[in-house]
Amino acid sequence: MNDALPDIPGLTIVQTLGSGGFGVVYRARQPQLDRDVAVKLDNRVLPGEERAKFLREARAAARLSGHPNVVNIFDAGITADGRPYIVMELCPGGSLLDLLQREGPLAPERVLDIGIRLADALGFAHEAGVLHRDIKPANVLIDAFGAVKLADFGLAAILDAPSESTITMGALSPSYAAPEVFAWGAPSPAADVYSLAATLYTLAAGHLPREIPWPPESLDQLAGAFRAQVKPIPGAAPQVNVALARALAADISQRTPSPRLLADELAGSRPAPVAPPPPPAGKKSNQLKVLVLAAVAAVVVAAVAVYITISPSGNGGKPTDTRAAPVAPPIVSPPPKLEDCVTTPGYCVTEACFGGLVQINDVRTASARPCAGEHSWEAFSGGWLPDGSMEVAIEEIEKLPAVTAVCTPELMKTRTKPGGDTAAWEISVLMMDKGSNGKPYFYCVAMPEAGGTVTSRMFVNG
């Protein structure tokens, strides 16, 4: 690296602001406009054939400059010694990483506001065909007016010139990168969603959603880290914890697909979508997975793909149109032992009875019992839960609108057999994912006062 201040036409370099990865950020003065700017200069020298690609990608990122939550790009070019640079808006408030280190975890309400704004910026970028590829607290800056702004938009693609399809492992931010990135998966909007969710979680919780060892001691260690449960953030609204858990799903097929949907789920204006359980993978699907795994097996870190589902791409690594196409709503089938009701809201229960409920930490379980035999708890309603709910504390699940709408004394009364009296029965919620190919669902269950038992069904369908 050249320690001397760089010579960039039209700019007077004032000082070094920071460095990391492959680049250095400088504060500079634009005498013609009498303003200060930031300059990010890459340390690598681009060969001649890669310079046109760099400028093309820089122009694409500059198209995002009109968004209020994206750092403006003013110029881009190549220094006399062949190093690429980008001239950007100077944000004197530092980064969200600086804020986190200075103030500690941010209030969940503040993080929610930040998340919705950044998700809107990310959605705007994806619709313009630009991926970020390196979202983390250090890459979200605060301008002179206190607004948060995504910085380095597309810079991973711009400065990773030799690679058309994947970010280099040297430029990777392991703690915020989606699992498929470690297996050299093609960049995607869903990977950006994961990184944004990891950033928001860290800001609110004060720690990462998962501790990712890097470099890992073994592939088992890395795969196990991504399988770790994402614990709920204390004090955060239930829909926020559920939305972040879904956006942090290790399996890309189970993850929130777009930043705009993530924004809606964070705000509670749109609950996490409920879809029927996926059908079992067929022979053809398994063969495709084997081919994908074999293709990346030569790369050491890529072997983690054995443990993590990869979304294959057939576009040869070329830029893709990331704008979302209209999708018809899925036909939703009832969860196990539930059926559509004719005269009352929610699902009706065909037959689901249990022994005592056992709760250890955030997990509540119960053993199934025949309704014709002695049992303590009986289900009277239920429904699907958002993807990722099994990683959320039961206390948070109990607050979800989908649950509070049906697990009520009023609905329990309408499902009670004629002549029966359940007015004093205790109501609880039981989460399940058995018999649904892993899709989470819940039962509204009730038991007699003072922990009594019954030997016949108290509730009916209807």
Let me know: does 428 contact 446? Beta carbons within 8 Å: yes
Q: From 423, 446, 443, select the one nearest 377 (Cα to Cα).
A: 446
Closest CA to 23 of 99, 76, 91: 76
Give me the phi and psi of 336, to 5 degrees please.
-55, 140
Place of tokens 């310079």: 51
Contacts of 263 (CB under 8 A, 6+ apart): 115, 116, 119, 120, 123
pLDDT digits (tens, 9 = 90+) for 163-207: 333 334 445 578 899 988 877 767 789 999 999 999 999 999 999
User: Is 231 within 8 Å of 221 (Cβ atoms)?
Assistant: no
Contact 22, 171 (CB under 8 A): yes
Give the pLDDT means over successive 10-residue stretches in the chain (462 positions): 75 88 87 94 85 84 90 92 92 94 95 96 90 92 95 60 40 80 80 96 96 80 85 90 92 91 84 46 37 32 34 35 40 82 80 86 83 92 87 86 90 91 92 88 90 85 71
Annotated binding site: 40
Query: What's the confidence (pLDDT) of residue 318?
Result: 37
Residue 396, pLDDT score: 85
pLDDT at 58: 85
Check residue 173 and give its pLDDT. Answer: 75
**pLDDT value of residue 295:** 31
215: cis peptide before it, omega within 30°? yes
SS3 content of the chain, % helix, strand, coil (to 5): 35, 20, 45
Binding residues for ATP: 40
pTM above 0.85, yes or no: no
Query: Per-residue pLDDT tens for 40-53?
Result: 998 888 888 788 88
User: According to the model, what pLDDT value does residue 303 have?
Assistant: 35
Minimal CA–CA distance to 201: which of 243, 140, 257?
A: 243
The Cα 94–Cα 76 span in angstroms is: 22
Q: Which of 117, 133, 255, 415 is catalytic?
A: 133
pLDDT at residue 165 in the model? 35
CA dist 144 and 91 (Å) reads: 6
User: Which residues, including other chains, have CB under 8 Å from residue 117's CB and lie 6 or more apart?
Assistant: 68, 69, 147, 148
**DSSP class of residue 455?**
S
Is there a catalytic annotation at residue 270? no
Q: Residue 59 corresponds to which tokens in the numbers above?
A: 């122009």
Rounded CA-CA distance 136/219 in Å is: 24
Strand 84-89 to 35-42 pairing = antiparallel
